[in-house]
Structure 1
Amino acid sequence: MQRRRILFILFLIYFVFAILLNSVGTVILQVIANYGVGKSAASVLEGFKDLPIAIVSFLVASFLPRLGYKRAMLTGLAIVTAACLAMPLVPGFATAKLLFLSVGVAFALTKVSVYSTLGLIATSRRHHAGMMNTLEGFFMVGVLCAYWVFSFFIDSANPASQSWLNVYWLLAALCALTFVLLLATPFDERLAALPAERTPAQDFAAMLRLFFKPLVCIFVVTAFLYVLIEQSVGTWLPTFNNEILMLPAAMSVQVTSIFAACLAIGRLSAGVILRRLHWYPVMNVCLLGMGAVVLVALPLTHGVTADAGVTWLTAPPAAFLFPLIGLFMAPIYPGINSVMLSSLPQHQHSAMTGLLVIFSALGGTTGSLITGYVFGAFSGHTAFYLTLVPIAVVLVMLYFFRRAVDGAGDAATSPPAVDTDANRAA
């Protein structure tokens, strides 16, 4: 297979979906202004995006090797291309709901397929870990681009203008281009083929049985807790900046982009680092770094007074220091995902990614709800100090995760995917 070309296409796919997935806040703002939709009604767009991701992953992940990863990705790209074209052609709140429903379904198909395809082109465990971090880094670059791409088409002088819908012509073209590139690229998926004698029902049952393996149980709990932390910080950091650091609303959102930038830089850097170093010490350093940022930055947030003329130069130091937690947080999720997938045979990658997507969605929702409750009932300081608890638990879980991985032996996805040097370092 043409590894470099396939990898480029996977990065492009993730970049496109990052923009679409993370545009929900902007779209909520615009449908309120354009279609007279109330805030509570507009908020359902988040559910139209998230619920299909979890549901579709659960239902189809075990079947995707039969469909083919390339076909699944092509299907996902075709769905979002049509949905993007519908936005300017049939403008309305119902179309926005349909857009995010389509994005959720398509991303479920795509994420499982992309993760599984990485296993097909990886030459070693360290190579797999490096590619996984680079892939997730490109996703965060897409998140950053989403803010700027949409803002370019928004007419700030006329909030009721529907000029912002023109962004979907650009996104539809990008999706279509990615579809054509993927269609023209040959894939060899023989390593991921499921046993011919098994039925789809048996494939689904095998995915459920996979969850009860000790290694998988430890992994999904670790992934759940990590996403809980990331979503807690990412979702509530703008509110923290506004209510605790006394920054204006617009600036609170702008400063939050530092967190997204740190995640992107951290994952792209880890893509290089994890090709040279063993994952376990890197993950431990990252977790300790996260805890250190919390303990150093949060005390600086006490006693901040409101300043109507605050600028980027006069903002509290904590506004720039706390988002640096993203640098340390970034490598953990793709790192543990890579270790888990490269410890399983190829035909189980799709099912394992399905479980990962489900528990990631549950972790994100749980983290946002818990942090929101603590933020309202106690304070933002208490809410963010509480992130130290799951950080400590993840640190412990990684120890058991490493032992379970070592106990599982060298059950890699293919002979080249067994990195004997990495195993000796373990």
Structure 2
Amino acid sequence: MRRVLPVVALGLTYVVFAMLLNSVAPVILQSMLTFGVDKAATSTLDACKDLPIAVTSLLVASWLPRLGYRKAMIIGLATVAAACACMPLLASFTAERFLFVAVGVTFAMIKVSVYSSIGLLTRGPKEHASVTSLIEGLFMCGVLATAWVFSFFVNRDRPADPVWLHTYWLLAGLAGAAAVVWTLVPLDESRTRAAEPQTSQRLSTSVMGMWSLLRYGLVATFLASAFIYVLIEQAVQTWLPTFNNEVLNLPVAISLQLAGVYSGTLAAGRLGASLLLRYIRWPTLLISCLFMAALLLLSVRGAVGIANATGWSSLSAAAFALPLVGLFLAPVYPTICSTVLSALPLRQHAPMTGLIVVFSALGGMLGSFITGRVFGATDGRTAFMLTLLPVALLLMALLLFDRQLRKPSLARPDAA
């Protein structure tokens, strides 16, 4: 029970931030309708959260163990609760940008804390991989809930009605509740503090210690894999509602709900991977999944508008092709993150997670930005077809990552 309650609290925290981070897709669609902004402007929303995630991770990852992971999560949750409460009162696209900046800054603290806490709560690589996949699966459940929650608040008769901003009252309440839960749940961080140097470090020293991990081939190859993966996932997730609305000609509410299916398949894929990885080697599972994802992405080429779609029963099978991509992309990220963290000593989990957050944020920002620009300049089919190129690069990166895991200890930080 001493380990179960913290894992539950970690899952709740991650669900809250999943809803906030992945509200970009519905916010893009609704901002174009409510605030009259164009695709070029809305494509910057991912940068508003991803750049602060990257910068904050560089600054805080190495000293978070001294602040305390539990305390950092309480601060992060309380901050976004306040930011969400302000959003319906300010009701502007500029306010949306500032909200995502706040979410980005606090998520950097949250992700480092969550991933490092998993190392404190698990024993052995298999248990670490299983809990990581579980937490990431819960994250995707939060993403799935986001699409449905926002669609619930959308005025179906007048989609431009700003009543959808009332969603943020609910998100503020959830974040506040999660912060209260952490004040009641203990987390034993003594092992992390024992591994930390007793003397205080300069910020520059902490940052250099984090970047020094890049000299290991294993870490560099992993970070390239994580960067490319998030680029693909975020490109699809951010622009899928707009694709559904403009290419498939679906109503706004159905477009958001169908995008939620993508989140649901991501959740199912990660939860399923936590079981499959007990019996299947991770390279076999991930490579098979990438081939299936590529086949589904190829189907975008023949996507056509759906005439008179008024409900789920009127959707064709082709409408579910892109959402199903998530089922096969899903196992990649938590599996490679767990694999690299399991190869590191506990004292390096926080700086390594900082690097994970930085490269994931940059990949997500670039994927959303490029796809948005291509979407605006050409069409949705071309934008999504171009994701096949990073899928091929990811496949090569994973093969190299597996090869380096089998190398002698020279390429491995744990042997340095």
In the TM superposition, what is the alpha-carbon distance from 1:345 to its structure 2 partner? 1.1
What is the distance in 2 between the residues matched to 1:237 and 1:248?
A: 13
What is the distance in 2 between the residues matched to 1:370 and 1:357?
A: 20
Contact kept, 8 Å, 2:270 with 2:331, in 1: the verdict is yes
What is the distance in 2 between the residues matched to 1:381 and 1:102?
A: 33
What's 1:384 paired with?
384
Contact kept, 8 Å, 1:112 with 1:353, in 2: the verdict is yes
**TM-score normalised according to structure 1 size:** 0.84
Structure 2 CA distance for partners of 1:357 and 1:392, relative to 1, 3 Å: same
What's 1:346 paired with?
346
What is the distance in 1 between the residues matched to 2:217 and 2:320?
A: 40
What is the distance in 1 between the residues matched to 2:60 and 2:98?
A: 20
In the TM superposition, what is the alpha-carbon distance from 1:12 to its structure 2 partner? 0.1
What is the distance in 2 between the residues matched to 1:157 and 1:310?
A: 13
In the TM superposition, what is the alpha-carbon distance from 1:21 to its structure 2 partner? 2.0
The amino acid across from 2:268 in the alignment is I
Contact kept, 8 Å, 2:84 with 2:172, in 1: the verdict is yes
Contact kept, 8 Å, 1:65 with 1:347, in 2: the verdict is no
Contact kept, 8 Å, 1:245 with 1:316, in 2: the verdict is no
What is the distance in 1 between the residues matched to 2:205 and 2:339?
A: 26
Q: Which of 206, 210, 234 is the matching residue for 1:203?
A: 206
In the TM superposition, what is the alpha-carbon distance from 1:89 to its structure 2 partner? 5.9
What is the distance in 2 between the residues matched to 1:385 and 1:160?
A: 30
Q: Which of 222, 226, 232 is the matching residue for 2:225?
A: 222
What's 1:281 paired with?
284
In the TM superposition, what is the alpha-carbon distance from 1:320 to its structure 2 partner? 1.6
Contact kept, 8 Å, 1:263 with 1:326, in 2: the verdict is yes
What is the distance in 2 between the residues matched to 1:392 and 1:214?
A: 20
What's 2:401 paired with?
401
Contact kept, 8 Å, 2:156 with 2:253, in 1: the verdict is no
Structure 2 CA distance for partners of 1:31 and 1:391, relative to 1, 3 Å: closer
Contact kept, 8 Å, 1:127 with 1:275, in 2: the verdict is no
Structure 2 CA distance for partners of 1:248 and 1:355, relative to 1, 3 Å: same
Task: Give deviations 1:219-276, integer Å, cap 9, x for gaps.
Answer: 1111111112212222333444455545455544433222111111111111222244
**TM-score normalised according to structure 2 size:** 0.86
What is the distance in 1 between the residues matched to 2:99 and 2:242?
A: 27
What is the distance in 2 between the residues matched to 1:293 and 1:28?
A: 25
The amino acid across from 1:407 in the alignment is K
Structure 2 CA distance for partners of 1:305 and 1:282, relative to 1, 3 Å: closer
C-alpha RMSD of matched pairs (Å): 3.2
Is 1:270–2:234 an aligned residue pair?
A: no
What is the distance in 1 between the residues matched to 2:85 and 2:247?
A: 41
What's 1:254 paired with?
257
Task: Single out whichever of 233-242 and 67-76 deviates more from structure 2.
Answer: 233-242
Q: Which of 285, 290, 293 is the matching residue for 2:293?
A: 290
The amino acid across from 2:84 in the alignment is C
The amino acid across from 1:267 in the alignment is R
Task: Give deviations 1:393-417, integer Å, cap 9, x for gaps.
Answer: 222222221232233669899xxxx
Task: Give deviations 1:140-160, integer Å, cap 9, x for gaps.
Answer: 111121233334445556778
What is the distance in 1 between the residues matched to 2:44 and 2:368?
A: 16
Q: Which of 228, 232, 235 is the matching residue for 2:238?
A: 235
Task: Give deviations 1:308-365, integer Å, cap 9, x for gaps.
Answer: 4575444343212332111110010111011011111112111111111111122122
Structure 2 CA distance for partners of 1:168 and 1:280, relative to 1, 3 Å: same
What's 2:4 paired with?
4
- After TM superposition, the structure 1 = structure 2 runs for residues 173-192 of structure 1, keeping only pairs within 5 Å, are 173-192=173-192
Structure 2 CA distance for partners of 1:298 and 1:306, relative to 1, 3 Å: closer
What's 2:82 paired with?
82
What is the distance in 1 between the residues matched to 2:161 and 2:384?
A: 38
Is 1:355–2:355 an aligned residue pair?
A: yes
What is the distance in 1 between the residues matched to 2:133 and 2:118?
A: 11
Structure 2 CA distance for partners of 1:274 and 1:254, relative to 1, 3 Å: same
In the TM superposition, what is the alpha-carbon distance from 1:287 to its structure 2 partner? 1.5
What is the distance in 1 between the residues matched to 2:88 and 2:6?
A: 31
What's 1:417 paired with?
none
What's 1:116 paired with?
116
Contact kept, 8 Å, 2:265 with 2:324, in 1: the verdict is yes
What's 1:416 paired with?
none
Contact kept, 8 Å, 2:26 with 2:256, in 1: the verdict is no
Contact kept, 8 Å, 1:22 with 1:143, in 2: the verdict is yes
The amino acid across from 1:397 in the alignment is A
The amino acid across from 1:70 in the alignment is R
Contact kept, 8 Å, 1:129 with 1:275, in 2: the verdict is no
Bigger radius of gyration, 1 or 2? 1
Structure 2 CA distance for partners of 1:255 and 1:28, relative to 1, 3 Å: closer
SS of match in other structure, 2:307: coil
What is the distance in 1 between the residues matched to 2:100 and 2:130?
A: 30
Structure 2 CA distance for partners of 1:184 and 1:329, relative to 1, 3 Å: same
In the TM superposition, what is the alpha-carbon distance from 1:368 to its structure 2 partner? 2.9
What is the distance in 2 between the residues matched to 1:204 and 1:257?
A: 37
Structure 2 CA distance for partners of 1:366 and 1:100, relative to 1, 3 Å: closer
In the TM superposition, what is the alpha-carbon distance from 1:105 to its structure 2 partner? 1.3
What is the distance in 1 between the residues matched to 2:159 and 2:355?
A: 41
Is 1:334–2:337 an aligned residue pair?
A: no
> Is there any run of 5+ residues in structure 2 with no aligned partner, and where?
none
Structure 2 CA distance for partners of 1:95 and 1:158, relative to 1, 3 Å: same
In the TM superposition, what is the alpha-carbon distance from 1:277 to its structure 2 partner? 3.2
